[in-house]
Amino acid sequence: MIILLLILSVLVGVFLGKYFGSKQQFAKNLLILSAGFLITICLNEVFPEVYETGGHNIGIFVILGVLIQMLLENLTKGFEHGHVHHDSDDHSIIPIALIAGLFVHAFIEGIPLSHEKETFSPYLLGILFHNIPISFVLGSFLAHSKNFSTKFWVIVSVFALASPLGMLLGRYFDEDLKVYFLAVVGGIFLHISSVIIFESNKNHKMDWQKIILVMVGVALALTGHLFHHH
């Protein structure tokens, strides 16, 4: 069930990107909304579990997650937070680096799911909510690049299967290691969501639309938190 949800979240995002990808503001709003959701899941669900069950030096693994994401962005060029330059002549991120960066990113996120006992845990919802806007940008990018072909399906399939493969591999690890992988993913989540939310506004003016979208994302995550704990 979890594997199916992971794959569907990517497919839904990709096809939304295909048909609505030309609406860049829609993609931006979707990313901001997901960032509000993701940072709330991270701070309200992931980190409390990590610091409650992890060892004294668990924070090092959170920092490791931040650093890993920074390295991955050298491959994806900020694809995870909507930095796509359709008109660029730089093809270095197509397809090898982009595929590799997105695959590793999603693969690591899937590992903590291997010992997940709930079908709709807050952590899983965070990944699903996170997958849709990234897949939206991916679908938009591939459609714009006229790669909606065999190459398109290969790229989408690699990304869609990354988290399920991470989840399957995680079953071979001791369950006690879950908290360390979760800490790494928490660092990844924190970096991505904070970059999306705190990127400089034009002329450093207050962007009320962004604030409202972040608040909606936060409210959605808190609503899920209340249902989860009652």
pLDDT in tens, 111-152: 999 877 766 788 888 899 888 888 888 887 776 665 556 777
**pLDDT tens digits, 90-101:** 444 456 777 888
Instruction: Count up the domains in the chain and report the number.
Output: 1
Helix locations, 176-207, DSSP H: 178-198
Segment holding 119, helix H or strand E: none
What is the Cα–Cα distance from 119 to 98, expressed in whole angstroms? Answer: 30
Question: What residue numbers bound the domain in which 182 lies?
Answer: 1-83+92-227
- Among 28-42, 47-61, 78-92, 165-179, the range scoring the smallest mean pLDDT is 78-92
35/73 Cα distance (integer angstroms)? 17
As a whole number, mean pLDDT of residues 197-223 equals 77
pLDDT one-digit tens code per residue, 44-86: 888 998 998 877 889 999 999 999 999 988 877 777 666 555 4
Q: What is the pLDDT of residue 10?
A: 92
The letter for the amino acid at 191 is H
Reduced DSSP (H G I as helix, E B as strand, rest coil) percent helix, strand, coil of the chain, to 5: 80, 0, 20
Token reading at 8 = 């569907």
Is residue 133 a contact partner of residue 13, using CB atoms and an 8 Å limit?
A: yes
How far apart are the C-alpha atoms of 212 and 230, rounded to whole Å?
A: 27
Separation between Cα atoms, residue 112 and residue 18, nearest integer Å: 30
Of 65, 201, 37, 210, which Cα lies nearest the Cα of 132? 37
Query: Residue 111: its pLDDT value, please?
Result: 92
Contact 155, 92 (CB under 8 A): no
